[in-house]
Amino acid sequence: MKIAIASGKGGTGKTTLSTNFAAYLSQTRPVLLTDLDVEEPNSGVFISGQLVHSEIKYKMIPQWSGDCSLCGLCHEVCNFNAVIQLADQILIFPELCHSCYACSELCPESALPMIPQAMGELKHYVSEQLNFVDSRLHIGQEQAVPLIAQTKKYIQAHFDPNTLQIFDAPPGTSCPLIEAVKDADFVILVTEPTPFGLHDLKLSVDTMRQLNKEFGVVVNRDGIGNDHVLTYCQNEQLPVLAQIPNDRQIAELYSRGRLLYNEVAEVRKQLDSIIEYLQLPYNGGTP
């Protein structure tokens, strides 16, 4: 089963929930946690393990051979302005390239071969029953989507599809989020009971409905703000899977990069409530 943990607004507790949920579940079954928030990956702050694999991830970009008749077809076919024809040369803007191969494969003179360009790094750690895969975008790279897609490919190639998989998704509702959640079986939307939290939750709910996803809501920092998030969930008939209290002790543990479930009984109870809702078998995963 694939569970993605997402939120419209940043900083609502997505990573806190992902890491605690995965580590807690891994005490009783094999779990894979993947950090797909490749722009600012923070799961690794809370999860450690033995590094078993690391690799640089590349995206494919065209490179001009320097020798062609400058017919201009490459410039014309590129929908992303990544290939520009000047009077005497072809200019490539790799950060704008979406790796569609159109310029390269349609070039009548094969003057634009595709070459790999490093865009980020993937690392795979293991700690007992918890596998953890982390990808981070190199600074200056604009597009998170190709790295997210390749990280998911690594997982497909290395893990049994029946493994229980938790994904820490990027914030927002645009292309990186879609790429991260599009093949999830269930999405947990983390929010906080504030006007910002509610506003961005509504956007996330619209997104999940448009994607036809099964999803539920976790309210973090319960007790701050107001009850409008809960009223909204009630009116929209959205399941509220857990309510994690607003607590200075939690904030301080978090600030030090510590997991919560061992030290805060209430967090354990809330995680159990999510497990119960999802009906995760005690020793699920690979039969």
Partner 1 sequence: MKEIVIVSGKGGTGKTSITASFAYLGGQDIILADCDVDAADMHLLMQPDFATAEDFYSGQLARINPESCTNCGACADVCRFDAITVLEGHYTIDAINCEGCGYCPRVCPEKAISMIEQKVGQRYISHTKTGSPMVHARLGIAAESSGKLVTKVKTEARALAQAQHKKFVLVDGSPGVGCPVISSLSGAHFIVLVTEPTVSGFHDLKRVYELVRSFNLRAGCIINKSDLNPQITDDILAYLQETGIFHIGSLTYDESFTKAMVNGLTLPEYTNGSLTKPLKHSWKTIMAYVSNSGD
Give the interface with partner 1 as residue ranges (CB under 8 A): 8-12, 15, 39-40, 42, 45, 77, 79-80, 98-102, 105-106, 137, 139-144, 170-176, 178, 182, 194-196, 199-200, 203, 206-207, 210-211, 224-226, 251-252, 254-257
Q: Which residues contact 253 (CB under 8 A, 6 or more apart)?
A: 259, 260, 263, 264
Residue 164 vs 208, nearer CB to partner 1: 208
Rounded to whole angstroms, the Cα distance separating 197 from 110 reads: 51
What is the nearest approach in angstroms of partner 1 to the Cβ of residue 101? Answer: 6
Residue 144 vs 267, nearer CB to partner 1: 144
Rounded to whole angstroms, the Cα distance separating 276 from 98 reads: 41
Residue 129 vs 194, nearer CB to partner 1: 194
Rounded to whole angstroms, the Cα distance separating 238 from 177 reads: 20
Residue 226 vs 283, nearer CB to partner 1: 226
What is the nearest approach in angstroms of partner 1 to the Cβ of residue 200? Answer: 5
Residue 210 vs 283, nearer CB to partner 1: 210
Task: Name which of 126, 164, 129 is nearest 285 in CA terms.
Answer: 164
Rounded to whole angstroms, the Cα distance separating 221 from 270 reads: 12
User: Is-contact 138 121, C-beta < 8 A?
Assistant: yes
DSSP assignment of 197-235:
HHHHHHHHHHHHHHTT--EEEEEEEETBS-SHHHHHHHH
What is the nearest approach in angstroms of partner 1 to the Cβ of residue 228? Answer: 9
What is the nearest approach in angstroms of partner 1 to the Cβ of residue 96? Answer: 9
Residue 97 vs 280, nearer CB to partner 1: 97
Rounded to whole angstroms, the Cα distance separating 52 from 77 reads: 42
Q: Which residues contact 175 (CB under 8 A, 6 or more apart)?
A: 144, 145
What is the nearest approach in angstroms of partner 1 to the Cβ of residue 206? Answer: 5
What is the nearest approach in angstroms of partner 1 to the Cβ of residue 66? Answer: 24
- H/E element holding 242? strand 240-245
Residue 73 vs 280, nearer CB to partner 1: 73
3-state helix, strand, coil split of the chain in percent (to 5) is 35, 25, 40
What is the nearest approach in angstroms of partner 1 to the Cβ of residue 198? Answer: 9
Residue 110 vs 283, nearer CB to partner 1: 110
What is the nearest approach in angstroms of partner 1 to the Cβ of residue 221? Answer: 8
Task: Name which of 255, 38, 246 is nearest 149 in CA terms.
Answer: 38
3-class secondary-structure state, position 274 = helix
Across the strands, what pairs with 243?
A: 219
The two structure tokens encoding residue 244? 């994690």
